[in-house]
Amino acid sequence: MTGVLRLGGRRFGPDELVVMAIVNRTPDSFFDRGATFAADSALRAVERAVAEGAEIVDIGGVKAGPGAEVDVAEEIRRTVGTIAAVRAAFPEVVISIDTWRAEVAVEAVSAGADLLNDTWSGADPAVAEVAARTGAGLVCSHAGGLSPRTRPHRAAFDDVVADVLTTVTGLAERAVSLGVRPDGILIDPAHDFGKNTRHSLEITRRLGELSGTGWPLLVALSNKDFIGETLDLPVTERLEGTLAATAVSAWLGARVFRAHQVRQTRRVLDMVAAIQGTRPPALSRRGLA
């Protein structure tokens, strides 16, 4: 681990805070309710996200929670054509495929994906093997032992952060042993996946323990249920809570931020970076004239 994260043709230094925009090719996403399900809508969303400051675009074809069955063929149909179109239109953007299935990962990388965002903690161990064979990056996540698309029930941990650390570092070490590039691996505590609200809050509070591993840390906080429950707000009113959690996570060492609202997230991260001293102000006139 050198501190540099290399995805596709991009290299992100240890002080860079990176926005990963969410583009769902699903009709039943919890947040956008299918707003980018149509292929042309998805491409417009990518164009907007890139213009607003996203360096990574995460394309998914299956909602995370329970819902209608989506088989491998349908997931490929929903995502691979969009990946190819994004690759052609935006050659410099990093493309991520949100999938836990190796068969989908293979087709996605062939179409131009640079990163395999496996949010279900290696449910299909062959996803890491795809990353090793193709040179793609890999997200190693913690799902609390749940199977894909299931919700937690009475989730319990002796120490949730210790459990996350053991799981994600174990997956990262396995990936390296298979031949995945160390500079293409990220770890993700996967807020809400297999966890209750108090678990997700504790993980956020203790993110420094995760960033301290040396693996680049991705957080997916955007409009999640732990924010909704903490503030007692519906999904449409969770932006401020999301941005507060984003700022705290950036301060504690997270480097990649999966987000629905790119412009607002980018501004928060730029402000955090300026306070940290890793980004100069865009302007500095006050008191100088």
Mean pLDDT confidence for 50-60:
98
Residue 198 CB neighbours (<10 A): 13
Q: Across the strands, what pairs with 140?
A: 118, 187
At 283 the pLDDT is: 95
Q: Across the strands, what pairs with 229?
A: none
Residue 59 has pLDDT above 60, yes or no: yes
What is d(CA 251, CA 187) in angstroms, rounded to the nearest whole number? 17
What is d(CA 145, CA 155) in angstroms, rounded to the nearest whole number? 10
Q: Quote the CATH superfamily of domain 5-276.
A: Dihydropteroate synthase-like (3.20.20.20)
Q: How confident is the model over 73-124, as pLDDT tens digits?
A: 999 999 999 999 999 999 999 999 999 999 999 999 999 999 999 999 999 9
Q: How confident is the model over 226-245, as pLDDT tens digits?
A: 999 999 999 999 999 999 99
Residue 1 has pLDDT above 60, yes or no: no
User: Which is more confidently placed, 289 or 211?
Assistant: 211
At 64 the pLDDT is: 93
Q: How confident is the model over 6-39, as pLDDT tens digits?
A: 999 999 999 999 999 999 999 888 888 678 888 8
The domain segmentation of the chain, as residue ranges, is 5-276
Q: Which residues are catalytic?
A: 224, 258
Q: How confident is the model over 203-225, as pLDDT tens digits?
A: 999 999 999 999 999 999 999 99
At 269 the pLDDT is: 98
Which three-class secondary structure string do you get for the chain? CCCCEEECCEEECCCCCEEEEEEECCCCCCCCCCCCCCHHHHHHHHHHHHHHCCCEEEEECCCCCCCCCCCHHHHHHHHHHHHHHHHHHCCCCEEEEECCCHHHHHHHHHHCCCEEEECCCCCCCHHHHHHHHHCCEEEEECCCCCCCCCCCCCCCCCCHHHHHHHHHHHHHHHHHHHCCCHHHEEEECCCCCCCCHHHHHHHHHCHHHHHCCCCCEEEECCCCHHHHHHHCCCHHHCHHHHHHHHHHHHHCCCCEEEECCHHHHHHHHHHHHHHHCCCCCCCCCCCCC
Residue 66 has pLDDT above 80, yes or no: yes
What is d(CA 226, CA 245) in angstroms, rounded to the nearest whole number? 10
At 254 the pLDDT is: 98
Q: Across the strands, what pairs with 60?
A: 24, 98
Mean pLDDT confidence for 65-78:
95
Residue 4's pLDDT band, with cuts at 50, 70 and 90, is very high
* Nearest by Cα to 121 from 102, 96, 147: 147
At 28 the pLDDT is: 81
Q: How confident is the model over 254-279, as pLDDT tens digits?
A: 999 999 999 999 999 999 999 999 99
Query: What is the Rg, in whole angstroms, of the alpha carbon atoms belonging to the chain?
Result: 18
Q: How confident is the model over 150-193, as pLDDT tens digits?
A: 999 999 999 999 999 999 999 999 999 999 999 999 999 999 99
At 2 the pLDDT is: 53
